[in-house]
Amino acid sequence: MAAALLVAVGASAGFHLLPALIAVGGLAGAFLLLADEVGPAGRTGAEDESPYAPERQRGEAPAPFSPIHDALGDLAVIRGMDGTIVWANVIFHQVCARADVSGLTCAAVGLSFEPTPEPDRYLARLATATGVRLYDWHDVIAREPASGRLTRHSIGRDVTEEARAAREREEARRRAEEASQAKSRLLATVSHEIRTPLSGILGMSHLLAQTQLSAEQHNYLAGMRQSGHALVQLVEDLIDFSSLSAGRFKLRPSQQDLRGVLEGVVEMLSHRAHEKGIEVGATVAADVPASMEFDAARLRQVLFNVIGNAVKFTETGGVFVAADIDEGCVRIRIDDSGPGMSAEELGRVFEEFEQAGDDAQRAKGTGLGLAISRRIMEAFGGSLTACSTAGVGSRFEVCFPLEGAEPSSALARRGMLSGMHVLVLAPDGPASAALAATIATLGGKCHRAATLAVAESFAAAALTNSLPLTDIIVDHRRAGQFRELLFRLPAIGALRLRKTYLINPEERTSHPVNQMGGYEAWLIRPLREKSLVEVLLGRLKGIEKRDAINDNRPVLREEPPVAVAKGARAILVAEDDPVNALILRTILRRAGHSVQQVGDFRALEAAIHGQDGACVAPSLIVTDLNMPGGDGLAVLRRLREKEAAGDMVRVPVIVLTSDVRGDLHQLLLAAGADGVLSKPIEPARLVTEIADLLEGEKT
């Protein structure tokens, strides 16, 4: 149909429409169809007067097409089946610098052809006075209507500049890849070189913290550790950014409790919030399963970045975090009452190395946190979005698909506090909002009173039996108003309400545990759901026990509970850095183990084989991956080969490395490592890992 259209249009409209015909049917097709239309004489009533066009040979050449192809800048040639040229347009003669090419072959005029994957299509090269030109060459076989003779019609379009541009693009891509690889190597080297001394700094500060220090020295040490952990986070951000850019980023999902992850992050950031005089609170809806599949470490990283930013930029009010299920996805909303962002700031807040806020706030980070967080959530199959109103606040929303959920775990939370009527005497803010939302989520009723007058009205209703109160929770900032309430309505004491005192973790030192002050229990905010339930059900008395949260640093990797070593075991430590070697020896000896230390791989293998060549296997080996005297992977493989041959018993091996690439960890595990720990080493994690491996060897 396209061919018929070309013929009809060409015959009726004339050759000035050839560019449109070419767009429809292609260069060679248009050329052939129009050649057939004018017939074998090749005349339309106007003879070609060009000095570059020779007389047509044997009456076959469509000379009138020469101006058309010339105008398009294309080569046009008709050849016999033996390859001799019977006609060529003006451009062909000009490019070949010949007056007449009739009877010659393409090879004779300097054309060479390189096949392409498409049939009857070639890349043609022609050496000219200005250099080698490249042509996109098409051949079409046609039969002359009058004689029935087969001829080869060809059109070549000059693609020299396009080819040059493609070569330049390829060269630029190659240079960019080489630069990217060089940057990756540089980052890996710098990361290793930073992590080694940083491991020594944090390790020594850990050991120093276990000695007798004055209060002032403890403060200095806490500041040093805080700076060290901030530097670790900076290195982690740079490595994550590099991994995401190179496509090496991988998630490691497992069954996890979202509420525990969320509460842990909020607890870690509460100290920063309370120092600024603001609140932070979190609640999890009842429809969120207690167990689902996700990468907890990476989600924790995202939440720490997003909630941490909200705390950093908020000066009054606070940060409220709420998790629920929306259209099959887990949704976590982070609302703050900060200054908000302009449309321009909001548009670039997720860009690399971009930061909002004033100069002082921008100086506190790299501007990578939110960019990395968004890309992590995209790897989750989810999203990280933001909306904001200048002068009002911002909302960030984390979403990812709900996978591997256990529906029964969500149903178990519904109705846990059914029948509970709780009066909360606390200032308006995220803390009381989170407390009220949690009570309502679990099936209870919460009545919030921000002022003494509101609390008095609720209490009066309870005294008249129109409000069946069961509990009253008093924020420490409203303790004086609660005493005033008891003075005004002493009959409240006869209602047998369970009274709970709510404090900041920083307030524990100023409120001794043994002075309950008439309260049956104390809770710490930000609130843990489990502790709240235990208190309201009467199962928790006294002060809530909570681990230390004032370290105020991100915990982005899973940390197992500390295990206590059972009995002294012989551990061989291979570490070439003297500071890190001292740290490892001290940690392991304090855990009850005996330690032998070597400084390179040759000494490691010699220690295993002993003086007389007989294998003397230690209970466990802790070795750095990069040391003089060999290659860590090769040494590990040789050790496992000797064990497989029966030359020695199997020894657990823990490898320490400053290189945190996931593929390297997998290589080490495949080579026979029992554990791979990244530097800086967490002492508790190392001790626990060793205890687990030694216990496993026993069984």
Distance (Å, whole) CA 674 – CA 17: 75
Q: Percent of the chain scored above 90 by pLDDT?
A: 32
Within 8 A by CB and 6+ apart from 155, the residues are 27, 28, 31, 69, 74, 75, 76, 77, 137, 138
Q: With H, G, I as helix, E, B as strand and everything else as coil, classify residue 620.
A: strand
- Residues comprising the chain, all counted: 699
- 8 A C-beta contact, residue 651 and residue 643: yes
Task: List the one residue out of 482, 407, 420 whose CA is nearest residue 450.
Answer: 482
Mean pLDDT along residues 157-185: 86
Domains and CATH numbers, the chain: 2-158 (3.30.450.20), 182-246 (1.10.287.130), 254-404 (3.30.565.10), 421-543 (3.40.50.2300), 570-698 (3.40.50.2300)
Tell whether the model's pLDDT for residue 29 goes beyond 70. Answer: no
Distance (Å, whole) CA 152 – CA 649: 79
Distances from the Cα of 430 to the Cα of 123, 303, 348, 438, 662, angstroms? 70, 17, 28, 12, 38
User: Position of tokens 């003669």?
Assistant: 93
* Tokens encoding 600: 């390179």
Backbone angles phi, psi at 2, to 5 degrees: -65, -35
Q: With H, G, I as helix, E, B as strand and everything else as coil, classify residue 133.
A: strand
Mean pLDDT along residues 212-217: 82
pLDDT for the residue numbered 179: 81
User: Position of tokens 């060269």?
Assistant: 171
Average predicted confidence (pLDDT) for the chain: 79
Q: What is the pLDDT of residues 285-322, one digit of tens each?
A: 988 988 899 988 889 889 988 998 999 899 999 999 99
| Confidence label for 400 from pLDDT (cuts 50, 70 and 90) | very high
Rounded to 5°, angle at Cα 339 from 336 and 342: 110
- 8 A C-beta contact, residue 98 and residue 109: yes
Within 8 A by CB and 6+ apart from 190, the residues are none
User: CB-based burial of residue 663 (10 Å sphere; 0-12 exposed, 13-18 middle, 19+ buried)?
Assistant: exposed
Mean pLDDT along residues 398-424: 83
Distances from the Cα of 99 to the Cα of 70, 102, 129, 284, 447, angstroms? 16, 9, 16, 87, 102
- 8 A C-beta contact, residue 188 and residue 659: yes
**Which residues pair with residue 136 across a beta bridge?**
123, 157
* Tokens encoding 469: 């109160």
Question: In which element (H, E) is residue 238 found?
Answer: helix 215-246
Instruction: Give per-residue burial for 564-590: e unless 16+ CB within 10 Å, then b.
Output: ebeeebebbbbbbbeebbbbbbbbbee
Tell whether the model's pLDDT for residue 40 goes beyond 70. Answer: no
Instruction: Give per-residue burial for 611-649: e unless 16+ CB within 10 Å, then b.
Output: eeeeeebbbbbbbbbebebeebbebbeebbebbeeeebe
- 8 A C-beta contact, residue 76 and residue 154: yes
Query: DSSP E strands: which ranges in 81-186?
Result: 85-88, 111-115, 121-128, 131-143, 150-158
pLDDT for the residue numbered 343: 86
Task: List the one residue out of 299, 388, 296 whose CA is nearest residue 348.
Answer: 388
pLDDT for the residue numbered 245: 67
- 8 A C-beta contact, residue 518 and residue 499: yes
| Confidence label for 284 from pLDDT (cuts 50, 70 and 90) | very high
Q: What is the pLDDT of residues 320-366, one digit of tens each?
A: 999 999 998 999 999 999 999 888 888 888 886 555 555 444 444 55
391: DSSP letter? T
